[in-house]
Structure 1
């Protein structure tokens, strides 16, 4: 299934997702290259809400650029299978070796603002991440390691603790809380 098909069939959870979905569909139909960072204004990313098997804990990384605990994920960089991007990024950023989708469809979507910052000695201008999120699962007994060029630490948190650990108010209230609400709505 293409991203366009996935977005067309996606049922928004709230007004944020409804509005962001409309923008994403419009941008995908615009003919712009959204799949690579060559587009300095907006490009596609894939994130993961990684839970343990009983869904009581969430994996977070302490992100260097944002100076905050956050979910894991990264840029599409030309890859059009965004679930594969999310899986790859979780493994790279956490050291986990066994990660699997709880479900293969989109779990969430959002358009995220990224302030200008330095990365590897070069300035990256402010831009948008056109993000889709997948619900992934991993055993919380696996060993973890950080990826020093991206994060300072990786750790499991209780679901509410994961929300509270973030120092970014918008992410806490609009993203991480929403992801936990969706888990609860699924009976977890």
Structure 2
């Protein structure tokens, strides 16, 4: 299914999702390439809210660039299956071998601002991440491993502890708390 169709069928959770979905759909309709980082103003990313089997714990990574505990995810880089992107990124960033979708349906969406920063010795200008989030499940007892070029630690947190672990106020209030609220409704 095309991304525009997925977004048309998606039922937004709150006003943030209503408004971000409208902007994202508008950008997709322009025909510009949003699938790669060649679009330095805005591009598609996929993130994961990774939970354990009883959905009481969340996997977070301590992100090097943002110096904060955060969800896992990354750039589409041309891949059109954003669920596959989220799953790939979780495996790469956590060392987990087994991760599975709780559902293949889109769990959340957000437009995220990214401040300019250095990455691998090169300046990356400020831009937007047009982010789709998927709910994934993994075994909390499986061995974790850091990805040194992206994170310095990977750990499981209680749902509320995961929110509090982040040092980014906007993410705590607008993203992670929302994901937990949606999770509580399942």
TM > 0.5 = yes
Residue matched to 2:160? 160
Q: Measure, in 2, the Cα distance between the counterparts of 1:67 and 1:30.
A: 35
Aligned-residue offset at 1:182 = 0.3
Q: What per-residue deviation string (whole Å, max 9, x for no partner) do you get for residues 72-121 of structure 1?
A: 00000000000000000000000000000000010000000000000000
Structure 1 segment 1-188 matched on structure 2, within 5 A = 1-186=1-186
Paired residue secondary structure (1:60): strand
Q: What per-residue deviation string (whole Å, max 9, x for no partner) do you get for residues 43-67 of structure 1?
A: 0000000000100100000000000
Q: What per-residue deviation string (whole Å, max 9, x for no partner) do you get for residues 116-159 of structure 1?
A: 00000000000000000000000100000000000000000000
Alignment gaps of 5+ in structure 1 = none
Aligned-residue offset at 1:3 = 1.1
Alignment gaps of 5+ in structure 2 = none
Give me the TM-score of the superposition, normalised by structure 1: 0.99
Q: What is the CA RMSD across the aligned residues, in angstroms?
A: 0.3
Give me the TM-score of the superposition, normalised by structure 2: 1.00
Paired residue secondary structure (1:28): helix
Q: Measure, in 2, the Cα distance between the counterparts of 1:185 and 1:169.
A: 23
Q: Measure, in 1, the Cα distance between the counterparts of 2:173 and 2:155.
A: 20
Aligned-residue offset at 1:185 = 1.2
Q: Spell out structure 1 runs of 4+ moving beyond 3 A.
A: none
Q: Measure, in 2, the Cα distance between the counterparts of 1:47 and 1:177.
A: 15
Aligned-residue offset at 1:172 = 0.2
